[in-house]
Chains A and B, each alone.
Chain A
Amino acid sequence: MIPLQPPRRLIDVQIDGEAVRVPEGSTILDACQAAGKDVPTLCYGDTLTPKNACRVCVVEVEGARTLAPACSRKAEAGMKVGTDTERARQSRKVVLELLGSSTDLSTTPRAAEWTAEYGADPERFGDDAATVAQPAKVDNDLYVRDYAKCILCYKCVDACGEQWQNTFAIAVAGRGFDATISTEFDAPLTDSACVYCGNCVEVCPTGALSFKTEFDMRAEGTWDESKQTETTTICSYCGVGCNLTLHVQDNKIVKVTSPHDNPVTKGNLCVKGRFGYGYV
C-alpha cells in the first residue's frame, strides 16, 4: 500500500479579525496566505525549514509578550493574530531600516516596495552607520558571492548543508555584526568543498549570490528581466530527469533554476544541470 498522509485536523484562527481555517501544523504565515494577507518575508524559503532570522514577517499574537515570526510559529486553535498592527508595522519598519542601512538591498525583490510601504528610512542612522560593504568575491566562472548584499538569512548554508546538498562548503563564521558566510578559513570556493550545484544561489533572497552570467550582465547593464522568458524542460545529462527552468534572453540561456515543487528536484540541481548548458 502507498502510505497516506494522516488526515490533518483543521483549526480555526483569527487573522486581523477574520476567521481562517487551516490544517493543524500550519504556520501563521500559511494562515495569513490563506486569508490573503501579504506578509513580507526574506529569510523564509519554501523548500527550507524556517530559520526566522530576518524578522520582517513578525506579527502580533494576542497575549504574547513579544512579536512572533509568522514564517515559523505554528498556528494554534483560537490564536488571534494581527498582521498589520501598529506594533508589528513599527517592528517591520525598523527591521527594514536596519537591513537597508547595513546591506545593499538593490537586487532584493520587493525591498524598495516594502521600504516605501512601511515608511522605512534607512538613511536615518547617518553616514557613519556600519555596513557590510565589501568587494564581491569572484573566484570562479559560475557564480559570484557579493556579501555586501548578504542579510545572513542562513538559507544558502541550509541548502548547502543537511537540508539539501549535504556538501557543507559554507557555514556562518564569526559572531554578531561581524558574522559572515564563509568557507573554512575563508578559502576561495575553488579551494573549498563547493561542488557548484548552485542550490545556494537558487535560495538566496537578495542577489548576494548570483550566477556569473547575471552578475556580468548586470555590470554591463544588459540584464533585463522584462525581456526574459522562462521555460521549464528536462535536463539533458543523466537519467534522473531533473526539471530545469531556462531563463532566456535574446535566444540565450542566462540563468537556470528549478521548480521548487517538483517531485524530482524539489528545486535542486547539480553542476551539470545548473551550468552545463553552454554547449547549445
Chain B
Amino acid sequence: MDLRFRGAQPSQEERAAVDDLLGPPATAWEGGARTELDLRMAARAEEARDLLLPALHAVNDRIGWISEGALEYICRRLTIPPAEAYGVATFYSLFSLEPRPQRVLHVCTDLACQARGAQVVRDRVEERFGPPGKDWHESPCLGMCERAPAALALEAGQPHRAEVYAPATPETITTITGAAPRANGHAPSLEVAGETPVKEAVPQAGEPGLVLLRRIGVVDPASLDDYRAAGGYTALRRAFELGPAGVIREVLESGLVGRGGAAFPTGRKWEAAARQPDHPHYLVCNADESEPGTFKDRVVMEGDPYALVEAMTIAAYATGCAKGYLYIRGEYPRATARLQHAIATARSRGLLGDDILGKGLSFDIELRRGAGAYICGEETAIFNSIEGQRGEPRSKPPFPVEKGLFGKPTVVNNVETLVNVLPILERGAQAYAAAEPKLFCVSGAVERPGVYELTFGTTLRELLDMTGTTGTTRAVLLGGAAGAFVTELDIPLTFEGTRNAGATLGSGVVLVIDDTVDLRRLLLRIAEFFRDESCGQCVPCRVGTVRQEEALHRLSRRVDDSDLVLLREVGQTMRDASICGLGQTAWNAVESAIDRLGVFNR
C-alpha cells in the first residue's frame, strides 16, 4: 500500500509500547532502520490489520492516550492508512487521541448504579475533580451492579493498573487521592486494587446443587490443579470419547440456546459451522458483556476461568476450529488478568496448543480486549472489532456460520452459553435438560444483589424472595436497557414465559426498581445510553436515538401527546429498519415504561 504519512514521530516510550507488542520492525518500510537490502527489494508486509486494536491498547495503556506520532508508528508497523486507524481509534471510548492524565476515573451512572444513588457520587466527583472529560468520565455500566454504585480508575503505565471503588460513596470518593493505586504484585496481576472476593457476588456460593456456579468461591481461580480436582477437564475427556459429531448431537439434544439474548439453539449453530467446507473455522467467545445491569459473565470468568477455557476447547473440537478469540470488554481488568493467566497455564500444561491431551486436537485461544463500545458485543460487530475495523455490525445474511471472522465460518457464543456445555457433557444431555440452569444478574432495590443460578421455570417472584427486596418494588427491568419493565411478578423466568409477558430474558438482567427511583430520569439514562452507544452506521438508530432522547427530555418537562406519537413512530422505525439489535431494541424499555408504568400519564 502506498500510505501517506504526515510525519509525526512517536516518542521512545510510544515506540517501545508498540514494539513490546509486535516485536522490532522487520524492515525500514515498517519503521526500522534503512538497510542496503531494504533499498533493493521489499516484500509486501504480512496482513496484520487485526493487531490494530491491541496496538492501540498498548499505547493507551502505557501512555494514557494515543498521539499522532504513536498512531503513525502503529500504521507504519501494520500497513494501515492513518485515516482508517484514526477512524478505529475514535470509535472506542476508552481511547483518547488527546493528551489526558495518566489516571482516569470512570464513574458508572448507568441503571443499576443510578438505582443505588450514583447521582450523588457523580456530583461529588464533579465537585472534587471538575467537569467530566479529562480526569474522569461518566461511564456506561461497569458490570459491578451487585456493588452499585461503582467507579473504576484506570491508570496508564508499565504495568498499567486499575482500581475499583465499589460501592463508591461520596465518602470513598473523598478519599481518592488521585495518586497511583498501590502496586499489587508483578504483572500480570490477578488481583485488582479495591476488588472484593468473587464469591461476594454470588450469594449462593458454596451451596450444593449449583451447576454453573459450583466452583465459584470454592476453588482458587488461579489454580489449574484446583480446577481439575473440582471436576475440571472431565467434559473435554468426554468430548473426545464422543467425537465432534457426538458432541454436537449432545448439545443439540440438550436444547441449549444462546444466553447472549437472541436464544438461538447452540447445537444448530455448531452443526452449521462444522459443516462449512470453507476453512479455517474460527471460534469467538463473546465476553464483551456490556448490557447495563449484566455481570454474570464477569463473575464466571473471575471465579472459574478454566471452565471457559475448557468449554471453548470443546466448542472448537466440535466445530473444527483451530483458533479461538476470547473478546472481553475493556472494563474488566480482573477477569482479563485471570483469563490471561488461565490461558497461559493451560497452554503450558498442554491443554491448549498442539495435540491437546494427546488427542491430536490443535487449538489455541487469543484474548482480545474491547475498548469501550457496547456495540462490539453484537455478534458481527465483534468480528469487525477483532479484525481491526470499526466495530460496526455487518448485514446479515450472510450469517457468521457462513462468513464470519476474516470472512470464514465462525461460531460465536457468549460466555454463559459456552460454560453450559460442560455440564451437558458431564451429565449427559437429558440429565442436563431436566434441570437446565440459568444465571440471573440481580441488582437494584434488593437485599442480596448478585449472580443467581436458577433452573428454568422459576418465577420472578421466587427469585425476588431469594434476594429479598428493599423499599416498595415498583417494577422490574428484565433484560437490561434493551429489555422491558414488568410489574407482574409471577411470570416464569423462561424465554417463552418472558416473551408471553411482553418482555425478554435477554442477558438475565433483573433490576428491581423501588418507588424512590425517578423513572423519568431512568428512562433518560436508557436513552442516553443508546445514543452514546449507537455506532452511527444506519440512519434510524444514529438519528432515532437522538430524537428519542430529545423527546424524553421534553416529556420530562411537560407531557405532550405529539411527543408520545413521535416517540412511537421513531421507536417503531428503529425497530423495523435498523441494521442490528441495538437500534431494534432501543425503544423497548421506553415503550414498556410508557405503556405499563404510565410514566408520562397526566
Contacts and interface: CB of A to CB of B under 8 A. Distances in A.
A–B: direct contact at CB < 8 Å: yes
B6 A191 contact: yes
Interface in B565-581: 566, 569-570, 572-573, 575-579
Nearest to B554: A126
Interface string B514-543: 000000000000000001111111111011
Given A66-B575, A184-B82, A192-B4, A98 B534 contact: no
Given A166-B1, A182-B87, A98 B543 contact: yes
B83 A168 contact: yes
Given A53-B537, A98-B570, A130-B550, A173 B86 contact: yes
B83 A184 contact: yes
Interface in B3-39: 3-4, 6
B507 interface: no
Given A66-B577, A125-B547, A176-B532, A168 B84 contact: yes
B536 A54 contact: no
Given A173-B90, A179-B542, A91 B83 contact: no
A8 interface: no
Interface in A144-167: 151-152, 154, 161, 166
B536 A174 contact: yes
A99 interface: yes
B83 A58 contact: no
A229 B390 CA distance: 42
Interface string A80-108: 00000001001100110011011000000
Interface in A117-148: 124-126, 128-130
A108 B179 CA distance: 54
A177 B546 CA distance: 7
Which bracket fits the contact residues of B? 35 or more
B539 A151 contact: yes
Contacts of B81: 161, 168-169, 171, 193
A210 interface: no
A91 B573 contact: yes
A9 to B, nearest CB: 18
B91 interface: yes
5 contacts: A53-B579, A58-B576, A173-B91, A175-B93, A175-B534
A23 to B, nearest CB: 18
Contacts of A174: 90-91, 536
Interface residues of A, number: 52
Interface of A: 52-56, 58, 66-67, 69, 72-74, 87, 90-91, 94-95, 98-99, 101-102, 124-126, 128-130, 151-152, 154, 161, 166, 168-179, 182-185, 187, 191-193
B124 to A, nearest CB: 28
B97 interface: yes
B86 A128 contact: no
Contacts, number: 164
A76 to B, nearest CB: 10
B421 interface: no
Given A72-B395, A90-B573, A191-B6, A95 B86 contact: no
Nearest to A57: B577
A133 B20 CA distance: 43
A262 B82 CA distance: 32
Contacts of A176: 531-536, 542, 545
B6 A95 contact: no
Given A66-B578, A168-B3, A176-B532, 4 more contacts: A53-B538, A94-B569, A102-B546, A169-B83
A173 B537 CA distance: 11
B340 interface: no
Contact of A182 (B4, B68, B86): B86
A98 to B, nearest CB: 4
B90 A175 contact: yes
A170 B83 contact: yes
Contact of B535 (A130, A175, A182): A175
B544 interface: yes
A177 B583 CA distance: 13
Contact of B3 (A94, A173, A193): A193
B401 interface: no
Contacts of B4: 169, 192-193
Contacts of B576: 58, 66-67, 87, 90-91
Contacts of B536: 152, 172, 174-179
Contacts of A130: 546, 550
Contacts of A72: 395
B542 A177 contact: yes
Q: A56, A95, A130, A169 — which one has the most chain B CB atoms within 10 A of its CB?
A: A95
Nearest to B373: A175
Given A52-B579, A58-B576, A185 B1 contact: no
Nearest to B572: A90
Contacts of B546: 102, 130, 177
A129 to B, nearest CB: 6
B71 interface: yes
Contacts of A175: 90-91, 93, 373, 532-536
Q: B82, B390, B584 — which one has the most chain A CB atoms within 10 A of its CB?
A: B82
A85 to B, nearest CB: 11
Contact of B577 (A95, A154, A191): A95
B535 A94 contact: no
A252 B545 CA distance: 46
Contact of A177 (B86, B91, B534, B573): B534
B542 A94 contact: no
A172 B540 contact: no
A102 B570 CA distance: 14
A152 B6 contact: no
B87 A172 contact: yes
Nearest to A186: B86
Nearest to B390: A172
B83 A99 contact: no
B544 A98 contact: yes
Contacts of B3: 168, 193
Q: B3, B90, B533, B554 — which one has the most chain A CB atoms within 10 A of its CB?
A: B90
Given A55-B577, A91-B573, A94-B569, A69 B533 contact: no
